[in-house]
Amino acid sequence: MRKRQIGLLFGMEDTFPWALVNAINARGGDRVEAKSVEISYLKDDGIFPYDVILDRISHEIPFYRTYLKCAAASGVKIVNNPIWWSADDKFFDNLVAKAANVAVPRTILLPHKDFPPNTQAKSFRNMRWVNWDEVFDYLKFPIFMKPAYGGGWKDVYKCDNAQEFFSAYDQTRDLTMMAQEAIEFDSYYRCYVLGRKRVHIMHYDPKQPHHLRYVQNPPPMEPQFEARIRRDATALCDALGYDMNTVELAVRNGVPYAIDFMNCAPDADLHSVGQENFDWVVNNMAEVLIEIATSDRKLELTGSWPRVMKTDKPVDQPLMSSRA
């Protein structure tokens, strides 16, 4: 069999990509080889010198996104799926979570504060004024406001009252913001989920400064509760079809609520996640990519959510309620 080629596409990361290349090549033998992707212009002939590409950066470089979509359509297996990632957003994913029977905070999508480029008042003739009392009644304070297409804690606000809410909203420009019930959590977990089935649970304390967030020597977890965290994390990644993701869960009264689970290029830097988490993600991602490279996986447009969601329910009936 021809030696399978795994390419890594990345930006400013210094630790993870090189460690991953070494981990794959240490295991690959004469079956699989990893290296960094090399791109100049993209020719329209559908020829790509890779069997698999791990994408860590196309969310910031649109030229790469088109490259990856074309590669996917030409038979290259891309992690994560660039076609679905381009369509996905965090608000939609809350519906996916409910369908996958994972609890999520009550959430509302807000209209843009400012006009997006090339629009003006007349472009919005379908829009009606928001009844803020209804919004606040549904969510209750405190409320988190964050972008539906966000990441990296940018434009995330915690608002304790209406005044703080509107002063945050005023700063959101033309972003698509969601407003969300704040989960006052007892504990918080950040889980790597690789290949839709390998789960590594990290105790995470988002209230600490960045370098202290990954809790060292955490207390052991009760087995049944750990099983639920694993189930919820894999159910989300299976529904979304992501092979490398982190799922964040905030636990209130024993119930894990999915807070942030669309992290298609999750932080895997040695200096941020620490040696033990780093070793786990490097070794397991190497194995997942080798599995994908030697599999006969076909082009997927998305994960399992179209089969999981009840698209045949009456439109005036709610989705099945999430499992709070």
Q: Where does this chain bind ligand ATP (CB under 6 A)? A: 105, 144, 146, 150-154, 156, 180-183, 206, 248, 250, 259-260, 263
Upstream peptide bond of 80 is cis (omega within 30 degrees of 0)? yes
Q: 174 near 114, Cβ under 8 Å? A: yes
Give which of Mg ion, ligand ATP, none residue 152 binds (C-beta under 5 to 8 Å, depending on kind).
ligand ATP
Select the binding partner of residue 105 from Mg ion, ligand ATP, none (C-beta < 5 to 8 A, by kind).
Answer: ligand ATP
Closest approach, Cβ 131 to ligand ATP, in A, equals 22
**Scanning the structure block, which residue is given the tokens 């400064």?**
209
Taking the complex as a whole, the smallest distance from the CB of residue 48 to ligand ATP amounts, in Å, to: 29
Query: For residue 65, what is the enclosing H or E element?
Result: helix 62-73
Q: How many CB atoms lie within 10 A of CB 114?
A: 11
For 138, other C-beta atoms within 10 Å of its C-beta total: 12
Angle between helices 132-139 and 162-169 (to 10 degrees): 110
Inter-CA distances, 217 with 69, 202, 206, 220, 274, Å:
41, 10, 16, 9, 12
Q: Cβ closer to ligand ATP: 181 or 243?
A: 181
Contact region with Mg ion (CB under 5 A), list: 45-53, 124-132, 256-264, 269-277:
256-264
Nearer to ligand ATP (CB atom), residue 134 or residue 186: 186
CB of 231 to ligand ATP, least distance (A): 21
- The CB-of-150 to ligand ATP minimum distance in angstroms stands at 5
How far, in Å, CA of 75 to CA of 155, rounded? 37
Window of 6-14, 28-36, 46-54, 253-261 that interacts with Mg ion by CB under 5 A: 253-261
Distance set, CA 46 to CA 42, 75, 83, 155 (Å): 9, 9, 16, 38
Closest approach, Cβ 141 to ligand ATP, in A, equals 12
Reference 182, options 163, 166, 159, 205; nearest CA is: 159
Minimum CB separation of residue 259 from Mg ion in Å reads 7
Nearer to ligand ATP among residue 150 and residue 303 (C-beta): 150
Span from 161-169, 180-188, 257-265, 278-286 in contact with Mg ion (CB under 5 A): 257-265
Interface residue with Mg ion among 260, 262, 268, 290 (CB under 5 A) is 260
Q: Specify the residue, 21 or 259, whose C-beta has the smaller distance to ligand ATP.
A: 259
Residue 168 contacts residue 177 (beta carbons within 8 Å): no
| 243 vs 267, beta carbon nearer ligand ATP | 267
CA-CA-CA-CA dihedral for 20, 23, 29, 34, to nearest 10:
10
Cα 220 to chain centroid distance, Å, stands at 26
Quote the least distance from Cβ 247 to ligand ATP, whole Å: 10
Q: Which does 159 bind (CB under 5 to 8 A by kind): Mg ion, ligand ATP, none?
A: none
Residues that bind Mg ion (CB under 5 A): 260
